[in-house]
Amino acid sequence: MSPASDARQIVACGLVAALLAVAFALTGCDPSIVTPSNDPKNQVKQGTVARSPPGVGIAFVTEFTFTAKDFIDPRGGLLTYRWSFGDGTGSLGESPSPSAKHTYGKAGTYDIWVTVSSDVAHVPGSLIGLRVISLTGTWGIRDATGQLFMENTSITQSEQALSGNDTRADCRFAVTGSAIDPRRVTLTYTRLASDCARLGLPVSFTFAGEADEQGKAFTGTMTPGGPARMVKCSQPGVCE
């Protein structure tokens, strides 16, 4: 090593030593000392975040249960959990329970975070991209044969309440109903006795069904009518 290199190394080592001395003088802490909070043997083991039910949720309706799984304190101590649900809300303080429940009040895509802590260390966990939908939109109902029985049901969701209508030429049904946890709907279709007579449609009927995990179709039953599916429509008559 050249004299110049030796000189640079001496200067660098001197600066590091000076910085450590200043840190010790200001804080009273020796940064070279391993403390309980930074000792690798004390770090909480990383786990995962699970949810129930799987698939999408319906705003105001689906109550999710989030669970922090397989987080471990290597010293065998108790852990606490603090949740953030991605919509500006979270758990109130730390909880000894690894599970938390939450219902979203708006359609969107949410990232859920949990901070898992021991008495000396903590580690984050997350569940990314939870999708929550609204039922507001255009739907159709297919009977057991796949025929589009209703093709233009316009629904507005207001919390758990559903309302709207299905309209075609000289034929209009009023629609009322509700959405039920976790992903169920019940709808009643009612028309004036004079409407739709030429189509041979009933004066009223109900549909009750449960959504798939994508929220694009509800499988259930028309009464009267038998097995049926309520499906998402991109426009009247163009349905899943």
DSSP string, 75-86: T----EEEEE-S
Whether 69 has a pLDDT exceeding 70, the answer reads yes
Position 193 confidence tier, pLDDT thresholds 50, 70, 90: confident
Higher pLDDT, 92 or 155: 155
Tokens found for residue 91: 């758990």
Q: Where are the beta strands (DSSP E) in 144-225?
A: 148-158, 161-168, 171-180, 184-191, 204-211, 217-223
Cα separation values, 123 from 19, 48, 49, 85, 89, Å: 29, 11, 13, 17, 20
Whether 3 has a pLDDT exceeding 50, the answer reads no
Mean pLDDT over 113-125 rounds to: 93
pTM for the model: 0.80
Total count of residues recorded for the chain:
240
Element spanning 20, H or E: helix 3-27
Mean pLDDT over 140-155 rounds to: 93
Mean pLDDT over 43-64 rounds to: 96
The structure tokens 């009518």 sit at 225
Mean pLDDT over 95-121 rounds to: 95
Segment 18-32, tens digit of pLDDT: 544 544 455 455 545
Higher pLDDT, 163 or 149: 163
pLDDT, position 36: 54
Give the up-direction half-sphere exposure of residue 60: CA atoms within 13 A in the CB hemisphere: 13
pLDDT, position 40: 67
Tell me the domains of the chain and their CATH numbers.
40-133 (2.60.40.10), 137-239 (2.40.128)
Higher pLDDT, 22 or 98: 98
- Please measure the distance between the N-terminal and C-terminal CA atoms of the chain and give it in whole angstroms: 76
Mean pLDDT over 60-86 rounds to: 95
Position 91 confidence tier, pLDDT thresholds 50, 70, 90: confident
| Mean pLDDT for the chain overall | 86
Longest dimension (CA), the chain: 106
pLDDT, position 120: 86
Contacts of 76 (CB under 8 A, 6+ apart): none
Position 8 confidence tier, pLDDT thresholds 50, 70, 90: very low
